């Protein structure tokens, strides 16, 4: 008569949606904190992530724009020099690295983070294929967007003269940017939303957020479309980040390289 074990008390994880034991401080399925910040508790995880990324971009621009303004006044110029351009790129990469650390705050340790947000598909050939296809897609997409922007006269005018090694610096910075943004928007936000709302809703929401945090209204439709594409690449590659990261990094790098090549 007393053989019934007491039902284990469980609560729904705010991240992955699984029922996890109440006694733990972290979800046993995805490793996310069961006691998130007050903001995520009230607004839910996607809004929490949005505020987080907004805050980081704000800090980045608060550092960057006054520096550029001071530089322009001191140098009595309205054009960015190579040094300033490269400094901007490096600062952007640095501030986006902070974004990954902010995601880390939501999880109990790096193992839990990498168990839930997966980088590579299993198997070496699948991993190589992911990175190769992602890279090719990024370059092609960048070429198409450069072409459309030229036709619509929306193109970013690059007046900066860069020496060939600068491209390496830009690529390294864009790799960090791709890594950070894919971690947040696809690995964290889209994955968490997909588990509760289904793929299409999650794709639309995370792409919209991705577009909005890029602040510049003129490029928002392009960024939104890019978000949709990256989100589909992420889903197609079994929710691993190697392909969208390679895509994003090369897309950004060639957004700098193509206009320079065209200006010759």
Residues at the contact surface with Zn ion, assessed by CB under 5 A: 13, 15-16, 27, 29-30
Give me the count of residues in the chain: 264
- As a whole number of angstroms, the distance between CA 159 and CA 207 comes to 30
Nearer to Zn ion, 25 or 124 (CB): 25
- As a whole number of angstroms, the distance between CA 84 and CA 109 comes to 37
In angstroms, give the least distance from the CB of 179 to Zn ion. Answer: 23
Question: Cα–Cα distances in Å, from 236 out to 27, 119, 141?
Answer: 26, 14, 17
Nearer to Zn ion, 13 or 170 (CB): 13
Nearer to Zn ion, 16 or 197 (CB): 16
In angstroms, give the least distance from the CB of 118 to Zn ion. Answer: 14
Nearer to Zn ion, 29 or 71 (CB): 29
- As a whole number of angstroms, the distance between CA 211 and CA 95 comes to 18
* Cβ atoms 177, 96 nearer than 8 A: yes
In angstroms, give the least distance from the CB of 17 to Zn ion. Answer: 7
Q: Which residues pair with 20 in a beta bridge?
A: 11
- Both tokens of 126, joined, read 């699948």
In angstroms, give the least distance from the CB of 165 to Zn ion. Answer: 44
* Cβ atoms 224, 210 nearer than 8 A: yes
Nearer to Zn ion, 29 or 171 (CB): 29
In angstroms, give the least distance from the CB of 240 to Zn ion. Answer: 18
- Both tokens of 203, joined, read 């794709």
- As a whole number of angstroms, the distance between CA 63 and CA 95 comes to 10
In angstroms, give the least distance from the CB of 71 to Zn ion. Answer: 46
* Cβ atoms 146, 250 nearer than 8 A: no
* Cβ atoms 34, 43 nearer than 8 A: no
* Cβ atoms 83, 75 nearer than 8 A: no
In angstroms, give the least distance from the CB of 24 to Zn ion. Answer: 10
């Amino acid at each position: 008569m007393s053989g019934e074990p007491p039902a284990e008390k469980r609560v729904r994880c705010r991240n992955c949606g699984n029922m996890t034991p109440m006694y733990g401080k972290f979800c046993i399925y995805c490793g996310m904190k069961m006691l998130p910040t007050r903001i995520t508790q009230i607004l839910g995880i996607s809004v929490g992530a949005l505020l987080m990324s907004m805050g980081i971009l704000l800090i980045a621009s608060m550092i960057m724009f006054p520096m550029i303004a001071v530089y322009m006044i001191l140098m009595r110029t309205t054009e960015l020099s190579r040094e300033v351009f490269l400094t901007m790129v490096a600062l952007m990469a640095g501030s986006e690295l902070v974004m990954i650390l902010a995601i880390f705050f939501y999880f109990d340790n790096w193992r839990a983070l990498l168990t839930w947000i997966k980088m590579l598909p299993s198997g070496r050939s699948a991993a190589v294929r992911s990175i190769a296809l992602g890279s090719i897609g990024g370059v092609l997409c960048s070429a198409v967007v450069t072409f459309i922007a030229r036709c619509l006269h929306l193109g970013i005018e690059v007046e900066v003269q860069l020496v060939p090694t600068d491209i390496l610096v830009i690529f390294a910075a864009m790799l960090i940017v791709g890594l950070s943004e894919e971690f947040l928007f696809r690995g964290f936000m889209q994955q968490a939303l997909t588990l509760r709302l289904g793929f299409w809703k999650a794709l639309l929401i995370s792409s919209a957020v991705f577009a909005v945090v890029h602040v510049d209204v003129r490029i928002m439709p392009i960024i939104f479309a890019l978000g949709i594409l990256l989100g589909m690449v992420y889903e197609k590659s079994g929710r691993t980040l190697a392909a969208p990261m390679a895509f994003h990094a090369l897309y950004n790098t060639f957004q700098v390289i193509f206009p320079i090549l065209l200006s010759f």
